[in-house]
Structure 1
Amino acid sequence: MTRPRNSPDVLVAGGGPAGVAAALTLASRGADVVLVHCAPAAGLRVPESVSPLARPLLQGLGVLDRLPSACHAPCYGNQSSWGGPALTASDFLHGPYGTGWHVDRAPFDAALRRAARAAGVRLHAGRVRSVARHGGRWHATVSGTVMTAPYLVDATGARARLARRLGARVVHTDHLVAVAAEVPVTAPGHDGPYGAQNGPERTSLVESTPFGWWYTAPLPCGRHVVMAVTDADLVAGAGLRTPRGWWAALAATRHVRARAAAHDTTAPHALRVLPAGTSRTLPPAGPGWVAAGDAAAVTDPIAARGITHALATGIAAATALTEEADGDPRAQARYAALVGAVHDEFLSARATCYRAEERWDTPFWTRRRTPAGVTGRAPGATPGSSRRDTSTAPGTRREGAR
């Protein structure tokens, strides 16, 4: 029997990993799902390091073998200079799931959506412009088309556009930003513990500085992106507003500078400022709706758990909707409690992480040493990893992006 085109069982807003994970999970349980997505913004794409823990999630969703190699490259681990000048490392090589990935998000997300379509999810290009509840159904305007559905998933990213329209509020822990630039790979040779002498690096690299920290990782498509991460109000004082100032700050580093020098780079022509703050949506669910991925909670990029968190919360959100549809009145409350518990545990771990850096009494770091300040990482872990990846709890288990 043909189902009404604009009256699915579930309307999922957002075509990233969280939205696709929710859509695939719901479709596998017999739901008719419409996934609304819009084209990604043009410009610089930041590499995301995906934990090996994402592999079983992708496998469970039936998409692991559908991801083309062009959208990801191996990530053998994380390197960091944190709490001292020396470079330390944690690797994925001896874990049960193999290596992680460096992901180029645009082709990665597109591959996920193709897998969703193949699984029976209906894709609709556009954006949900308005949403309201009438007679037990959501009425949503999607780029001029009215759709109705009894259930709704908000996977619109950190702004949580739909959840806020339904009365939820986004609570920010900080206003971290990343000032990023693309660095061309002109001399790929780099002799390091996790990369062949004549090949590109296969690790993420984090280095703390007085104003915050630097992050760099390769993209699968032959590019290299470097980011300076600090609080929004400290960007100007750190000299990061201009390419020349940004390049001078990079030159003051030890390990990130060495990696950039290995690629024979010059100062970038342009910079892009990306939001990177931690936040949560309260509540992340309600009768007939759930928020997933960054629309539910956003974590500091130091944890490198964005994509894994997106997949896990997408799966868990879909499970909550299914349980609610089956008559469980507490399903949404359990999902909200789970999202909150995982986020609280992350905040505690992040506080430990940031307090491990004691070399500088500068605003960025002193803010993170006070009980009410910004907080950060599990003891003994390197930035970009954790002793226990708490993001696996909802629905498993991520990782970093939204």
Structure 2
Amino acid sequence: MQGLDTVVSNIGIASLLALSTYVLLKAGLLSLGQQAMFGAGAYGGGLLTTGWDAPLWAGWACGALAGAVAGLPLAWIAARRGTTAFTLSSLFYAELTRFALTALDLGIERDGGPVGPAGLDGFGGIRAALEQGWSDGMYATAVMAMVALAVAFLVLLERRRSGRRIQAVGNDPILAAGVGIDVARVRFAVVGLSGAIAGLAGSAYAHHTTFLDPASFSIMLGVHGMAYAVVGGIGSPVGPLLGAVLDFGLFEAFRPLAQYRMIAFGGLIALLLLFRPQGLLSPSAVRRMTAARKRRLPCGLIVLAFAATALSAGTGHAAPPLRAEAVECAPTGAAFEIRCVIDLRWSQDGRPMDPATVTVSADMPSMPMAHAVRPVAATQDGKPGLYAARLVLPMNGEWVLRFGISSPVREVIHLRQCLGAACQGEKR
């Protein structure tokens, strides 16, 4: 099925973001600003691989580290000022981080031109996965391996004394302090761990989309991450995964409703929480399932699968052998439909790239992954090298169009498009 790898990658990235929220909820903390650590990880990991040709695994690790470091101010607030101050500060901190990313303009010279963040124009050219030979299927597998490792780690953590301390702080911090648990220290560590998981998700997102828009790190991203964890339930680390799969599955099912699907989706989620206020995998449900049958996670196999996937791709940098002489999208007149055209040429001599396999997809920066339009195959449009495709977008607004070339070479080209009476398309 076309675009299945993209859907799996998006579900995995959303699951990691939900797991970062899950860790906080277990400790009795509610964050509205996970997008701050997510964005720090996305920019940090992207900068490492784009500016210094680091291998992809190093970019992921850098993203996790950047997320943990970015979460330190919130960790201090959680430890010293309590839960209410943490919740309010998380939203303020996330907006401050987003504004900082809009002002971040770094020009790192590579291949005769600057690469890196360009303020409001975003951060494009994050091509490490393309340059290092990762297919979409390999990348989706790696993302799901990260999710499996994160779940395995959290399951093992909850079985240890540290996990029981986190649960005690989440249940009753006053009672926990009374029995000798350092509540401030536990909260500080939990926020750091949450930031690392969110940063890892951000780096995975950056190398998956190859383009970052500061508008992507808005409050809606944090709300969706929290919703995945709440709907799935905090009885087990598997709950946030279930919430992400349900969210994406229902949203895809409501796609025929176009701009009304958010209303239908929100109503269904509200009904679900009305009848299952503690989520699908509530603590009581998990206790019943655990009593019925105990299983151990095959952590060794998960680690080996992840290592095999990560090491199967090499490092190195190769300049793109193609150039796009015309990239544009325009409304067709039909409701929410646009027609996108791209003219592909070989960089060496300007010959048309024919034949080529091209797909076009779209995502809304204000709600990344939530409104993603699955790839549509582009067909040759009258002359060699010219390809066109029609997409139906769910609603008006600003979109980022992604032209994915998979053969004879692999490349991704982005175009920012605004759909609606007051909008004009602009290439990035």
TM-score under structure 1 length normalisation: 0.26
Higher strand share: 1
Q: Is the radius of gyration larger for structure 1 or structure 2?
A: 2
